[in-house]
Chains A and B, each alone.
Chain A
Amino acid sequence: MSLYLSIAIIALIYVVIFQIAKASEYVSILKGEENSRKQNNKINGFLMIVFLVLGFVGVYVCNDLLFDKTLLAHPAASIQGERVDQMLWITLTITGIVFIITQILLFWFSYKYQEQENRKVFFFAHSTKLELIWTAIPAITLTVLVIFGLRNWFFFTGDAPKNAMVVEVTGKQFGWIFRYPGKDAVFGKKYYKNIDPANNSVGIIWDDKYAQDDILTEQTMYVVKGQPVKLIIGSRDVIHDVGLSAFRLKMDAVPGIPTTMWFTPKYTTKEMREMTGNPNYTYEISCDQLCGNGHYSMKGVIEVVEQEEYDLWMAKQKPQYFVANPDKDPEAAKAAATAAPAKDSTAKVATAKM
């Protein structure tokens, strides 16, 4: 019922507006078309200046309400992010100045040079000097921005420092898989046809000697504050994208073509919670490339922790080889052989030490 009522009301509004518009046309014919045209011209000329003023007020209010919600309100969480933020501010300043000047000129000229009976227009078809000026100024400004931008671009896409820890990230519909190389610091080979969603989600080739200590986790990745992290990124099915907004970085995950990205986290998750005043703050990995109907829920988490906490966490991880092949797990076999009722915790610590 209320639906029909609201449709009726909306239709009524249209009819009223339409009738007013039609009436104004008749009035203009009565008043003389030339007169009413001039009047309309004045109104619209005035609205130009109103729009300019209200527009800038709107920009100010919008900034006031929303700035604290952007990432610029807090320090960037990575050394790359600091460079991005610096670039953002410089670009904002330059484009902001151009924005303000050109919008003022546009609406002010429109207002100032609105039709007036006795004005003679200035026949001004071209001026090589002026045109050269406004070719040269943008060209110089842009050169500065390009040089500045490319220095950062080559830093971001360049090689990661030697001491970087390496994590492999694999996207799938709809979640993230992380692989750590284990003690030998070398990833085992993988082949996509070996993928088994139950216990070999990235298709590791178990025969490879480097593979047997590889560690797999899902959804949450641990990294160490202050230590560079290099991500080797891939996908199992469609294109995904590792979006790390807090670190100001992202990189596509493409099936069949590995990509890389590196960053150095500056603050632990805990420190970030204090800085933002948000006790639930998390470094989120958002999928930034449409990957299907669950795209919006493809969330991962990065825990940035101190070295000790990382070591503790790592100690608890069990190589995937033993998860997939429990019969090969010496600790599990030992535990099963010695005492079935043995305490769970000892077994766990023992495996973790492997």
Chain B
Amino acid sequence: MSHEAVLHAHESHGHDDHGHHEHHDTFLTKYVFSQDHKMIAKQFLITGMVWAVLGGLMSVLFRLQLGYPDASFPWLESILGKWAKGGQITPEAYYALVTTHGTVLVFFVLTAGLSGTFANFLIPLQIGARDMASPFMNMLSYWFFLAASIVMMSSLFVETGPFSGGWVAYPPLSALRDASPGSKSGMDLWIISMALFVVSSLLGGLNYIATILNMRTKGMSMTRLPLTIWALFFTAVLGVLSFPVLLSGFILLIFDRNFGTSFYLSDIFVNGVGALSNEGGSAILYQHLFWFLGHPEVYIILLPAMGMVSEIMSVNSRKPIFGYMAMLGSLFAIAVLAFLVWAHHMFVTGLNPFLGSVFVLLTLLIAVPSAIKVFNWLTTLWRGNIRFTPGMLFAIGFVSLFISGGLTGIWLGNAALDIHLHDTYFVIAHFHIVMGVASMFGMFAGVYHWFPKMYGRYLNNSLGYMHFWVTLAGAYMIFWPMHYEGLAGMPRRYFDFSIWESFKQFAELNRFISTVAMIVFAAQLLFIINFFYSIFKGRKVTDPNPWKSNTLEWTTPINPGHGNWPGEIPEVHRWPYDYGKDGVDFIPQDVPVGDHESSH
């Protein structure tokens, strides 16, 4: 590997020369066009945080409408202009907010912000590599993501508004410019942004896979990898195999929008325009292409969180993760099944009933590896010696949310029940708990846990505790009652329920949910303040291994430079979970196996 050879040659010049090298870094090469995986990780993280705040703010705005449909907020008009005429959010703005919230949170925050950050940061550090297999591609991955972000952002400012047909962008609504104002130029920008995003995640994913397979340090066999790395590996494989399918779906959509093809269009009469000439297309084809990514996507979001939670839980319970091989096997099973269940999003599209039954079976099968993971996490806590760092709290919160949201997946995966619950608030509750909030918890756990490695400083603990308890309680208060709305059949994506005899009874509950949502959003700002304050003013880390952890990242200096280890890369002699073995608190991976040591 020539890159490593260069770095090695470089290291052999000794410490002074290394310092000299740092001198040559200009602001631009160090912070902007950096090829250091750690810096790229931070770029992903901070861009993801910006999007998380914006996406969260959007949800606050549309919750304002749902909670207070009759109230008027003059200040809204001064911010949003024509999108909030008379201080009330218009349906156009409402649907644009819902759509952008979904797109941004799913792709920009929980895919790029989560995988982008932690795959970049942890893979080289935990497998013992000096950088990614291709640092330049890695840099490009970030810049494509940023370009996608900028295009998506710019779509918020076009005359006809951003795309407003839901984050799944089903045609014909997304294909017909005249079907909705959001389907005009807002949709063009949406597709361009998503195409750039696909490129970004492919560049990143290929890099993660190549790095994990080829650049592990001596002794780091695949079964000695921390579970974080395994999870990130499966995530990258899922992304590389499924994102191209999404892109192909988008390309057909671009053809239908601009070049008169009929891949998705057939027999359409648009109000005010008349009958279109498209015949023979299938609107359902898009859904197959979309969900072929869309379902693996939820595991792309969830698996990194699972991996980090496993690692953080083991470290802070001072106990090995229970059932390493079972954890690995269940990750693998989930990754395989992720590709075989996409049509459970389509039970009510008129799917062939036999096909539907196959997807029911495969969908509910996922509950088995998920159950294994939950029980293994519980057993990891059992008879441990638990330290409640903020990272550990968020890991425990993740498991709680994963249980709650996972169990409702058993309801929705069973097609006969899904017919009733599909596209109701029950679904909103389910996927926000199990995928949205749970993965956010995984991300928070990761940030709290690895912040000392990222910046050489600690986050403020008290703010971390407040952040955790408010968010956990708040998340349940927001999403738990939504199950009841779903059981009343209340549909998703409604701007206003006042004309509906069956649903207007929930007005008071909607107000409650909106109020809690605002409080929870406000609590997230505590985290943002804590994060940026601590980068510059946080308590300094003095112990290179503050959590007494076994993995390799803690063998680097407190502030590792480009190349991570100033000297040789440590050799690995054991798995990463030797906590409490033979009465010893922890044995890092680079410690050779002793003569009388028992095997695990």
Q: Which residues of A pack against B, CB within 8 Å?
A: 3, 10, 14, 17-18, 20-22, 24-25, 28-29, 37, 40-41, 43-45, 47-48, 51, 55, 58-59, 62-63, 66-67, 69-72, 81, 83-84, 87-88, 91, 94-95, 98-99, 102-103, 105-107, 109-110, 113-116, 119-127, 130-131, 134-135, 137-139, 142, 145-146, 149-150, 152-154, 156-158, 172-173, 192-193, 195, 197, 203, 233, 236-239, 241, 243, 245-246, 248-252, 254-260, 278, 280-282, 284, 286-297, 299
The verdict on B581 contacting chain A, using a C-beta distance below 8 Å, is yes
Is the CB of B378 closer than 8 A to any CB of chain A?
A: yes
22 pairs across A/B with beta carbons < 8 Å?
A25-B460, A58-B480, A69-B506, A70-B487, A81-B420, A106-B381, A110-B386, A110-B388, A122-B383, A126-B324, A238-B176, A239-B170, A243-B489, A250-B423, A252-B350, A257-B283, A259-B349, A282-B502, A288-B491, A289-B423, A295-B494, A296-B496
Q: In angstroms, how far is the closest chain B Cβ from the Cβ of A266?
A: 16
User: Given B265, B400, B410, B581, which contacts A123 in the complex, CB threshold below 8 Å?
Assistant: B581
Asked if B336 is at the interface of the complex by the 8 Å CB criterion, the answer is no
Contacts of A252 in B (CB 8 A): 348-350
Interface string of B86-99 (1 = CB under 8 A from A): 00000110010000
B245 at the interface (CB under 8 A from A): no
Contact A286 B500, beta carbon cutoff 8 Å: yes
Q: Which residues of A contact B265 (CB under 8 A)?
A: 255-256
Chain B, residues 363-384, CB within 8 Å of chain A (1/0): the string is 0110110011011111101111
Given contacts A290-B493, A299-B500, A146 and B360 within 8 Å (CB-CB):
yes
Chain B residue contacts of A137, Cβ below 8 A: 371
A203 to B274, CA, bound (A): 12
Which of B19-27, B315-323, B552-560 binds A? B315-323
B385 touches A254 (CB 8 A): no
Contact in complex: A124, B501 (CB < 8 Å): no
CB–CB B368/A138 < 8 A: yes
Check B283 against A255 for contact (C-beta < 8 Å). Answer: yes
Decide: A146 and B385 in contact? CB cutoff 8 A. no
CB pair A145–B414 under 8 Å, yes or no, is yes
> A188–B489 Cα gap in the complex (Å)?
34
The smallest beta-carbon distance between B72 and chain A, in angstroms, is 13
| Residue interface bits B268-282, CB-to-A below 8 A is 1, else 0 | 111100010001111
Q: Give the shortest distance, in Å, between A111 (CB) and chain B (any CB).
A: 9
The chain B residue sitting closest to A36, CB to CB, is B461
A48 neighbours in B (Cβ, 8 Å): 396
In the complex, besides A115-B386, A238-B173, 16 extra interface pairs with C-beta distance below 8 angstroms are A18-B529, A48-B396, A81-B420, A87-B416, A91-B410, A110-B388, A125-B320, A149-B415, A192-B268, A193-B275, A239-B283, A241-B423, A251-B350, A252-B348, A256-B279, A286-B503
A245 to B266, CA, bound (A): 29
Would you call B364 and A113 a contact (CB within 8 A)? no
B205 to A: closest C-beta gap in Å: 30
Residues in A with CB closer than 8 Å to B371 are: 134-135, 137-138
Please measure, in the bound complex, the distance between the C-alpha atom of A275 and the C-alpha atom of B318, giving whole angstroms: 58
CA distance A107 to B419 in the complex (A): 34
Which residue on B lies nearest to A80, using beta carbons? Answer: B419
* B266 & A257 in contact (Cβ 8 Å cutoff): yes
Contact between B529 and A14, CB atoms less than 8 A apart: yes
Query: Which residue of chain B has the shortest Cβ distance to A33 in the bound complex?
Result: B539
Q: Please report the C-alpha to C-alpha distance between residue A18 and residue B403 in the assembled complex, in whole angstroms.
A: 33
User: Could you say which residues of chain B place their CB within 8 Å of the CB of A284?
Assistant: 500-502
A304 CA to B533 CA, complexed, in Å: 63
Rounded to whole angstroms, the CA-CA distance of A239 and B283 in the bound complex is: 8
User: Which of B142-150, B192-200, B465-473, B564-572 lines the interface with chain A?
Assistant: B465-473
Near A by CB (< 8 A), chain B positions 19-60 give: none
Q: Does B166 contact A (CB under 8 A)?
A: yes
Residue B158 at the chain A interface, CB threshold 8 Å: no
The answer to whether B424 and A288 touch across the interface, beta carbons within 8 angstroms, is: yes
Which residues from B are CB-within-8-Å of A255?
172, 265-268, 283
Determine how close the nearest CB of chain B comes to the CB of A138; give it in whole angstroms: 4
Complex Cα gap A318–B378 (Å): 67
Contact call B172/A237, Cβ cutoff below 8 A: yes
Q: Is the CB of A84 within 8 A of B388?
A: no
B350 CB contact (under 8 Å) in A66, A114, A119, A257? A257
Give the residue among B181, B324, B399 with the most A Cβ atoms within 10 A: B399
Which residues on A sit within 8 Å (CB–CB) of B271?
Answer: 172-173, 197, 237
Which residue of A has the minimal Cβ distance to B266?
A256
> What's the minimum C-beta distance from B370 to chain A, rounded to whole angstroms?
8
Say yes or no: A153-B353 contact (C-beta < 8 A), given A71-B487, A237-B268, A288-B422: yes
Among B176, B368, B424, B579, the most chain A Cβ lie within 10 Å of the Cβ of B368
Nearest chain B residue, comparing its CB with the CB of A193: B275
Q: What distance in Å separates the Cβ of B245 from its nearest Cβ neighbour in chain A?
A: 20
In contact, A70 and B416 (Cβ under 8 angstroms) = no
In the assembled complex, which residues on chain B have CB atoms less than 8 Å from the CB atom of A70? 484, 487-488
Contact residue among B176, B381, B481 (Cβ-Cβ distance under 8 Å from A109): B381
CB contacts under 8 Å to A, within B440-464, are 460-463
**Bound: A119/B319 CA distance, A:** 12
Query: Are A105 and B378 touching (Cβ within 8 A)?
Result: yes
Q: Does A290 contact B368, Cβ atoms closer than 8 Å?
A: no
Distance in angstroms between the alpha carbons of A46 and B591 in the assembled complex? 36
Asked whether A124 lies within 8 Å of B319 as measured between CB atoms, the reply is yes
* Interface pair B176/A237, CB less than 8 Å apart: yes
Indicate if the CB atoms of B407 and A87 lie closer than 8 Å: no
Contacts of B533 in A (CB 8 A): 18
Shortest beta-carbon contacts, A-B, top 7:
A245-B489, A256-B266, A259-B350, A152-B416, A121-B580, A44-B388, A149-B414
Bound Cα distance from A110 to B266, whole angstroms? 57
Which chain B residues border A83 with CB–CB below 8 Å? 416
What 0/1 readout, one digit per residue, does chain B (70-101) give for beta carbons within 8 Å of chain A? 00000100000000000000011001000000
Name the residue on B nearest A95 (C-beta): B407
User: B386 contacts A114, CB within 8 Å?
Assistant: yes
Complex Cα–Cα for A115 and B387 (A): 6
- Flag whether B325 is at the interface (Cβ < 8 A): yes
**Across the interface, do A122 and B580 meet the contact criterion of CB distance under 8 Å?**
yes
What is the minimal beta-carbon distance from B321 to any residue of chain A, in angstroms? Answer: 8
A142 touches B367 (CB 8 A): yes
Q: Is the CB of A293 within 8 A of B180?
A: yes
Contacts of A58 in B (CB 8 A): 476-477, 480
Q: Are B353 and A66 in contact (CB under 8 A)?
A: no
Residues of A within 8 A of B348 (CB): 241, 250-252, 288
Given that A99-B403, A106-B399, A156-B419 are contacting pairs, would A238 and B269 also be in contact in the complex, using a CB cutoff of 8 Å?
no
CA distance in complex: A317, B539 (Å) = 80
How many angstroms between the C-alpha atoms of A88 and B424 in the bound complex?
Answer: 15
Instruction: Using A99-B403, A290-B165, A293-B181 as known contacts, say yes or no to A192 and B267 having CB atoms under 8 A apart.
Output: yes
Contact A238 B318, beta carbon cutoff 8 Å: no
Kindly identify which residue among B350, B385, B484 contacts A62, using a CB–CB cutoff of 8 Å. B484
Chain A contacts of B408 at CB under 8 A? 95
Q: Point out the residues of chain A lying under 8 angstroms from B581, CB to CB.
A: 123
CB distance from A146 to the nearest CB of B (A): 5
A106 near B396 with CB under 8 A, answer yes
Alpha-carbon gap, A176 to B121, bound state (A):
53
Contacting residues, chain A, for B180 (C-beta < 8 A): 292-293
* Alpha-carbon distance between A192 and B92 when the two chains are bound, in angstroms: 28
In the bound complex, what is the Cα–Cα distance between A334 and B368 (angstroms)?
Answer: 73
Residues of A within 8 A of B489 (CB): 71, 243, 245-246, 286
Instruction: Check: B526 CB closer than 8 A to any chain A CB.
Output: yes
Q: Is the CB of B526 within 8 A of A192?
A: no
Nearest CB of A to B499, in Å: 6
Given contacts A149-B414, A254-B283, A280-B501, contact A106 B400 (CB under 8 A): yes
